[in-house]
């Protein structure tokens, strides 16, 4: 039995999230979440930058049901490196109600890619956040993208806002749709129409193949959760950024909980409150339907 000790200061996921007041539409998809281990069955990668608490598929599916979602898109977390076994195990247990985003290396065989596809994987993730991963050469990433394009997959990218100017040409050259995690991590202390976020908006406007996850207010917020007990309008400083993207690009946005919320050391969100954030960023029923149902179904369950 393998024993892992959590990174100091690591916060466990919320043990008893509240019931959201906002009822998500039928068929809704939590399009960004993870499973961690359990480490004694699916050991964490030797090259990982953090050691999480365990967060199993059963616990993820229980949260899905509690929040009123029907489906999940499970994203390979960096603590599992390019060993996608925990992800595949979760996909196979989901009865077709989960799709996956894997991490692969150049050495992956065509048979392995086919097996991932059969399990429900529909994309790969390229991570450019330096505190999470070691550098991978661009030619290796481009080669991987070329191979998965043939399977109809897309590439999920995770980066910090300051790095977009340097990365965007590479993203545009990728032969697949590109899905940006957490709005490209804007600095929300800057104006929503300031130069930094404008760069991201322009990137989406000029390139139809770019999608965006309007996720992780808890990670981006300086104002944090509501100050008043019982108040359900959290992360006010992030809302204008997410709402702007949803209103400008309603057919290319996705939403996810990011459960079990890796690397949060100050505050662990109540997942019920995160769901109550949705009407603040997608204020109409039509926008909510696109964000939570139509868009993720088109990207992840096309042809079903
Ligand atoms: C996220 C964000 C983070 C971590 C990872 O794969 C990961 O380790 O994605 C982060 O630390 O910002 O999307 O869960």
> How long, in residues, is the chain?
304
Give the span between the Cα atoms of 214 and 256, in whole angstroms.
8
pLDDT of 229 higher than 70? no
- Across the chain, mean pLDDT equals 95
CB within 8 Å of 257: residues ≥ 6 apart? 30, 32, 33, 63, 67, 215, 271, 274, 275
Q: What is the pLDDT of residue 230?
A: 67
Q: What is the pLDDT of residue 228?
A: 61
Cα of 69 to ligand 1 centre, how many Å? 21
Give the span between the Cα atoms of 233 and 164, in whole angstroms.
30
For ligand 1, whether the C-beta of 221 sits within 6 Å is no
For ligand 1, whether the C-beta of 217 sits within 6 Å is no
Cα of 250 to ligand 1 centre, how many Å? 24
pLDDT tens, position by position, 131-185: 999 999 999 999 999 999 999 999 999 999 999 999 999 999 999 999 999 999 9
pLDDT of 1 higher than 70? no
pLDDT of 75 higher than 80? yes
For ligand 1, whether the C-beta of 82 sits within 6 Å is no
Helices (H), the chain: 57-67, 85-92, 110-119, 138-149, 164-173, 195-206, 217-220, 239-248, 271-281, 285-289, 295-300
Domains and CATH numbers, the chain: 29-300 (3.20.20.140)
pLDDT of 89 higher than 70? yes
Q: What is the pLDDT of residue 178?
A: 98
Active-site residue, 83 included? no
Per-residue pLDDT band at 3 (split at 50, 70, 90): confident
Percent of the chain with pLDDT over 90: 92
Q: What is the pLDDT of residue 227?
A: 66
CB within 8 Å of 298: residues ≥ 6 apart? none
Give how far Cα 252 sits from Cα of 121, 124, 281, Å.
20, 18, 14
Cα of 195 to ligand 1 centre, how many Å? 25
Q: What is the pLDDT of residue 254?
A: 99
For ligand 1, whether the C-beta of 181 sits within 6 Å is yes
């Amino acid at each position: 039995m393998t024993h892992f000790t959590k990174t100091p200061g690591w916060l466990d996921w919320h043990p008893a999230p509240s019931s959201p007041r906002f009822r998500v539409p039928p068929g809704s998809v939590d399009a960004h979440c993870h499973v961690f281990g359990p480490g004694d069955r699916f050991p964490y990668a030797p090259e990982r930058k953090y050691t999480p608490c365990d967060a199993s598929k059963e616990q993820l599916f229980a949260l899905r049901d509690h929040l009123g979602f029907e489906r999940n898109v499970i994203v390979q977390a960096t603590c599992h490196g390019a060993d996608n076994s925990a992800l595949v195990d979760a996909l196979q247990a989901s009865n077709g109600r989960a799709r996956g985003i894997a991490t692969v290396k150049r050495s992956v065989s065509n048979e392995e890619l086919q097996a991932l596809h059969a399990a429900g994987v529909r994309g790969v993730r390229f991570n450019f956040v330096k505190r999470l991963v070691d550098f991978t050469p661009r030619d290796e990433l481009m080669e991987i993208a070329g191979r998965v394009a043939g399977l109809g997959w897309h590439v999920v990218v995770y980066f910090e806002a300051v790095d977009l100017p340097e990365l965007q040409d590479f993203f545009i050259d990728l032969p697949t749709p590109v899905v940006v995690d957490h709005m490209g991590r804007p600095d929300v202390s800057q104006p929503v129409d300031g130069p930094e976020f404008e760069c991201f908006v322009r990137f989406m406007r000029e390139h139809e193949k770019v999608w965006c996850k309007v996720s992780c207010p808890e990670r981006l917020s300086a104002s944090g959760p509501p100050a008043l007990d019982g108040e359900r309008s959290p992360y006010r400083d992030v809302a204008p950024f997410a709402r702007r993207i949803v209103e400008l690009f309603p057919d290319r946005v996705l939403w996810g909980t990011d459960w079990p919320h890796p690397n949060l050391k100050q505050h662990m969100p109540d997942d019920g409150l995160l769901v109550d954030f949705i009407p603040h960023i997608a204020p109409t029923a039509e926008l909510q339907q696109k964000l939570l149902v139509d868009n993720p179904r088109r990207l992840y369950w096309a042809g079903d």
